[in-house]
Each structure stands twice: as C-alpha cells, then as structure tokens.
C-alpha cells in the first residue's frame, strides 16, 4: 500500500510552472553565473595589487631596469610570474612544472634553495650570475655572508644577489637569451646532450 502511494506521487502529472516558480528557477541559474562574472572582473580589476602582494614585482622591475646578468636562479613559486615578466630576455631556472624537470633536478634545486651541503655546485655548473629569491630563505642567509655574491636589492618580498665580479650594467648574454620558452636548465641540458634548440 505504501508503495502505491509513492508510485502515485512520482508518476502524477507535473504541474506547469507558475510565474513565481519561473522567476525563482531563473534566479537560481543566474546567481552562479553572476557570482563567477563578478569574481573574474574583480580579479582583473585588481590584478596589479594581487601580483604586488604575491610576486616580486619591485625586484623584477629592478632586475630589468639594471639589466642584471643572466642566467638567473629563482624561487620555485615565482617561475611562472617570472616567465611572464622576463621572457624573452631571461630564462627562469625553474617554474611550477615540476614534472618537466624531473626528480633529480627538483631534489638538487631544493637542496640548493635550502642551503644543504654542495649548494654552490649547481649554481656554478649552470653558470648562474643572478639569484632572485625570498629574503628569509637559507640560501639568502648563505649568500649574504658569501664573498662571491653581492646583494644588490632587497625588500620584504625578495632579495637579488649577483656574482661579485659582474657589473650592474651587464646585459644577458646572447647564449642565455631565451628564444623558445625553455628554461635555462633545459637549454643547458640540451647543449650538454648535443641537442640544438
């Protein structure tokens, strides 16, 4: 008997939507679309302040104005932003595409960034001349006391070091200038394996 009650309830003819029901349904459909549009508009309208809060905008302005020498070593989380701002004049050392770099390179980069023993070796091997990282990292602390590196810029968000012998007016060398969007690491690996890019 209970099953017949449910059967009648599920199979009864559907009532035509009234004006009020149509308006309510329309509002339920319109609300997410409106919210999404407002959020996108708000982000676009405030993109510069978002970037200034989350990325080293002033440090990159300094780097480009002074034309600091390439290649650069950078903070992993800033790679995509640096590509946007610095390409094609500079290649990033690393960006958020960890799968492209492979486990060995990621481990080596993190060990360098964290200041573990042998931290200089990758920087020397890949001929890094400029380092752009967060000022509160282990690597930044090591570089501040290292005679081979000179701090040329620092704010609350970023610090830039250059090799001491490099002049601040140096330009990125042609051999390190990006032409195809690959990182400096990818280009060095390609050159060492005989692949021309």
Paired tokens of 185: 């690491």
Q: Which of 82, 143, 75 is nearest to 109 (CA)?
A: 75
Exposure of 150 in the CB half-sphere (CA atoms within 13 A): 11
- Delimit the domains of the chain by residue range: 2-45, 55-192
Interval 150-174 mean pLDDT: 75
Q: Report, in angstroms and rounded to the nearest whole number, the Rg of the chain calculated over CA atoms.
A: 27
- Residue 108 CA to residue 118 CA, distance in Å, equals 9
DSSP character at residue 70:
S
Does pLDDT of 166 surpass 80?
Answer: no
Q: How does pLDDT run across 80-113, given as a tens digit for each residue?
A: 999 999 999 999 999 999 999 999 999 999 999 9
Question: Hey, which residues does 163 pair with through a beta bridge?
Answer: 149
Q: Can you give the pLDDT at residue 49?
A: 84
Phi, psi of 152 (to 5 degrees): -115, -15
| 115 Rama class: left (phi>0) / alpha (psi -120 to 50) / beta | left
Percent of the chain with pLDDT over 90: 56
For residue 43, pLDDT over 80 is answered with no
Which residues, listed in sequence order, are joined to residue 154 by a DSSP beta bridge?
Answer: 159
Q: How confident is the model at residue 8 (pLDDT cuts 50, 70, 90)?
A: confident
The pLDDT of residue 172 is 39
The yes-or-no verdict on residue 175 having pLDDT over 80 is: no
At 19 the pLDDT is 81
- Taking the C-alpha atoms of residue 197 and residue 186, their distance in angstroms, rounded to an integer, is 10
Question: What's the pTM?
Answer: 0.67
């Amino acid at each position: 008997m209970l099953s017949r009650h449910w059967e009648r309830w599920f199979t009864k003819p559907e009532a035509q939507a009234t004006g009020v029901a149509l308006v309510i349904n329309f509002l339920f459909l319109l609300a997410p679309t409106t919210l999404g549009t407002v959020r996108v508009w708000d982000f676009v309208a405030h993109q510069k302040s978002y970037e200034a809060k989350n990325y080293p905008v002033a440090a990159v302005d300094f780097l480009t104005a002074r034309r600091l020498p390439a290649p650069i070593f950078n903070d992993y989380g800033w790679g995509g932003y640096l590509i946007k701002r610095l390409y094609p004049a500079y290649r990033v050392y690393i960006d958020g595409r960890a799968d492209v770099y492979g486990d060995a390179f990621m481990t080596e980069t993190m060990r360098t960034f964290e200041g573990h023993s042998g931290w200089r070796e990758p920087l020397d091997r890949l001929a890094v001349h400029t380092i752009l990282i967060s000022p509160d990292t282990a690597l930044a602390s090591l570089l501040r006391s290292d005679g081979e590196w000179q701090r040329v810029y620092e704010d609350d968000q970023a610090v830039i070091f250059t090799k001491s012998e490099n002049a601040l007016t140096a330009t990125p060398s042609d051999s390190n200038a990006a032409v195809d969007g690959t990182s400096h690491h990818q280009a060095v690996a390609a050159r060492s394996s005989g692949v021309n890019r």
